[in-house]
A = this chain, B = another copy of it.
C-alpha cells in the first residue's frame, strides 16, 4: 500500500453463511438453497437490516501514514492496538506520494485535489517532502540517542517523537465487524475521500470481496453504486418519466443536485422562462 504500507488479514470470524444463519435466528426459519441465501443477503442489504452483518468480524494488520490513521480512527466502532511511540522507537518510513498523484488544490472543492502537477514540478514537491522528513528523522535520532553530549541518556521517546511529521508510518491491529466495515468502505471509497485512504479502502474492499462475496456484491449494487435521491429529485424524475416538463425554478433542487441528475440520468430540464 502506498510506498511503505500494507494491509494483511490476521484473522476473521464468519462468512456469508453466518449472516444467513443469524438472519434466520430472527425469522425462525431453517437452512435454504444457495440461491435463496443470495436473495436473503440482498434483501437484508436493500432493507438496511444491518444486525446480521455484525455477526462477521475481521482483524487486519495495517501499516499506514499517521495522517491516514487520523482519518481512519474516526470510525469509532472498531478495536485498535497501535504501535506506541512512547514505548518503542519509531521507524524511518515516511510517505512520499507518487508523482502522478501530486496535485494542486482543487478549485471546485475546498477539500480535494485538482490536476496533477507536471512531472518536473511533482518531482520538486517530492524532493521537498523527502528532505523535510529526513531532516526531522535526523533530529529525532539525535534527541533519542543522547550520544550528542550533553543529552544523556537520551530524551524520553514520548517527547522526541513530537518532531516527526504526520507523513511517517505507524502500524496497528484493527478489528471490526462487517456491518461497520461496509460503512467504512462506503465513506472511504467515495470520490471525495482523500486519495491515500481511498487506496487502503480499495485494498480492504478486495479482501472483503474475497471473504464474503455475496455480501460484497449486494453492497456494491445497493450501496456503493446505488443513488440516494432527495424528495425533490424523486419528484423531478417522476414528472419527467410521466412526460411532464420539469422546470428548475419550480423545484427545490440545488445547483449541485441538478448537476448530479443530469450527469447520472441524462436528465433534461425544461428551462424555458
Contact = CB atoms under 8 A, between A and B. Distances in A.
Contact of A240 (B21, B82, B241): B241
A120 to B, nearest CB: 8
A203 interface: no
Interface of A: 10-14, 18, 21-23, 25-29, 39, 42, 46-48, 51-52, 54-55, 57, 59, 61, 65-67, 69-70, 73-74, 76-77, 79-89, 95, 97, 102-107, 110-114, 117-118, 120-121, 124-125, 128-129, 131-133, 135-136, 139, 142-144, 146, 148, 150-159, 161-167, 171-173, 175, 177, 187, 192, 194, 220-222, 225-234, 237-238, 240-242, 252, 254, 257, 264-268
17 contacts: A13-B59, A14-B59, A25-B173, A27-B84, A67-B85, A79-B177, A105-B157, A106-B156, A120-B150, A124-B148, A133-B163, A161-B166, A162-B165, A221-B230, A228-B229, A241-B265, A242-B266
Contacts of A66: 70, 166
Contacts of A46: 230, 257
A166 B162 contact: yes
